[in-house]
Chains A and B, each alone.
Chain A
Amino acid sequence: MTRISNKYNDSCIKIFEILKLLFSDSATYERVLEIIDSGKDEKLTAAVVLNKYLNTLKVFGINVEKRGNKYELVKSPYKIDFEKPDLESLKLLMSTAQYISSSKSRDIVEQFLKMLFLRLNDADKVYLNNVKCGCSTDLSFYYKQFKDQIDICEKLCVEKQKIEISYSDTKGCVNTLIGIPIELKYQNRKICFSMQSAGIIHDIPINKINSVNQLPNIIASYNSVITVVFRLKKRLAKSYKLKDGEYIQNIEKDGSIIVVNKGEDIDKLIARFIRYQNNCEVISPKFFKEKLLETLSKMIARYKN
């Protein structure tokens, strides 16, 4: 550890400590006075000294305003130098935050943006406020069309009670499941409510949910989710990109890989394996292999008439 000499300058320390508070958005009047007041000064004297430091910052080009009980940084020379496409990306992420129903997540984004704003130059702030969401696709349908459903599903995920859900599947048949709510997944202009029923993950598009009832049972612990183990061969093994919740268990001599998948929607996994054609082989569980064969038989049966 580098030794720091004992000789230091008190005013220098104080001005930087005030700046530190300002950059962390925590410069309340009391905390700033704590820095100024070394214990011997009267409160009135401390306030005068504080004014001197604020003047110093202003002369240097750092503007500070008192809003309520807090000092806030209005202008500072210490900036992050973003380019316009960076700011457009930031705007895209900012506007997407409104689609998140969880108020905790929104607060986290707001806090991050506040800290970032303190470090933007004036021109960037103006650009960011005026630029339209840089997204090529209008994502507002997420929020506007499904706002109520999103709110309900987010609430279910937080409350951790068992649920009984009725929904229509891709063929329009009504199904009922009892299980555990997990999370909302945003997939390719589709929002799915992910739940676990008997160890199997189901991603149900929220517009397909007919009804959800909360059951009195509180989920003490999550049951383990069924894992699917499969082998990928040939060129697919070389170019495969692991998905969320997957890992490679083994690489075989011929270059094939054994992948373990946990937590993917069972129907999506089947469709994925069928797309892999002969480059994929399911190792376990047996019921999954049977379900995959059943789907393949149904596909072939479409042509038997």
Chain B
Amino acid sequence: MKEFIKNKTVTYNLMSFTGFKALILFSLLSEAPRSYEEIKSYFLNHPYLKEKISLDTLRVYLTSMKRVGCVVKRERINGVSKYSIVSNPFSLEVTEEQIKTLVKLYKIVVKSIDIRELYSIEHFIMKLRKSIKNPETLDYFNKYSLLRGVDLDLLQNLISAVDKNEQIMLEYNSPTSGIKDVELITKKFEIKNDKIYLRGITLEYKPSGAFLLNRILKIKTVKIVPEKIDLKPMVVGVEYYGDLKGLNLQDGMKIISQEDGKALLELTSTNEFLLRQCILEMVDNARIVYPESYKKQFVQNLKEIESGYSDD
């Protein structure tokens, strides 16, 4: 070895010359398909090898690689026969136990991270899938992924639109009215109850809307300078009787006061549906205090739900 370091000449005594040639060949064929002529020329011009390789020797090397678990492919490309290694035994193999534990970690973080981090985890898994020996093991992750069925390129474009609050025209597969165009000024992403929503101000009716990410089909147009729309948010006062520590304080929610085992919360939103969902989620720990009209409407809604269950 000392000799090699000194004069950069590879000698047969200090290393396995055949082993070295096998590694060179493995590397060449893993990069891209190569013809016999290309391999021969590479060996001839290699600074340490400087020798030809016969077709018979090449075949012996390929057979040896197959014996250790390499999958060697031979195909005709532009009329020339080329060899390549499509898989090798050194690739990472992810065990079922490992992916189950990774999913366990994913479940811990998934509800506390933002959409960009969700995207990155998905991208990491996708990269891993391309690099491991048994990509099918990662199907288990897909079962739990919040981005299952979401086009990652489209998501990246949507993230970029939200970052700039762009006005975009979406093709959206609505659960009620089917495929339609929706124009909105993008505001933010929201992860709620295992679903991801894109929130923004819709141009047609001008309320703040929430669109399920997995139902967005494509971005049709982008307006860099959005229209100016002044939306008046709804403010609702709610008395909360539960334990405040257990309450997940969301955007637009603040504690106004606290006394005698109850707290006054103020909820501000431009989307009435999401506001109602938020109050309903508090079940019997909440009581709307103001505005009176919204309170009446809410109670009426509760009575309707109750009568739906009492009927049968």
Contacts and interface: CB of A to CB of B under 8 A. Distances in A.
B14 interface: yes
Interface in A254-290: 270-272, 274-275, 277-278, 281-282, 289
B169 interface: no
Nearest to B68: A16
Contact of A15 (B16, B121, B286): B16
B307 to A, nearest CB: 9
A56 B124 contact: no
Interface string A1-26: 01011111101111111011001000
Contacts of A78: 30, 88, 90
Contacts of A14: 16, 19
Dominant secondary structure of chain A at its interface with chain B: helix
Dominant secondary structure of chain B at its interface with chain A: helix
A181 interface: no
Contact of A89 (B15, B121, B194): B121
Interface string B244-260: 01101000000000000
The residue among B98, B112, B248, B308 with the most chain A CB atoms within 10 A of its own CB is B112
Contact of B305 (A99, A105, A274): A274
A248 to B, nearest CB: 15
A158 interface: no
A27 B4 CA distance: 26
Contact of A4 (B67, B111, B113): B67
B92 A119 contact: yes
A108 B123 contact: no
Interface stretch (B34-42, B227-235, B276-284): B276-284
Interface of B: 1, 4, 10, 14-20, 22-24, 26-27, 30, 48, 59-61, 63-70, 88-90, 92-95, 97-98, 101-102, 104-109, 111-114, 116-117, 119-121, 123-124, 127-128, 131, 175-176, 193-195, 212, 215, 241-243, 245-246, 248, 261, 277, 280-281, 283-288, 295, 299, 301-306, 308-310, 312
14 contacts: A7-B63, A8-B64, A9-B60, A13-B68, A96-B105, A109-B98, A135-B109, A137-B112, A172-B243, A205-B246, A208-B246, A277-B304, A278-B305, A300-B299
Q: Which 9 A-B pairs have the closest CB atoms?
A: A15-B19, A238-B175, A12-B64, A11-B18, A298-B284, A12-B22, A85-B120, A16-B68, A235-B175
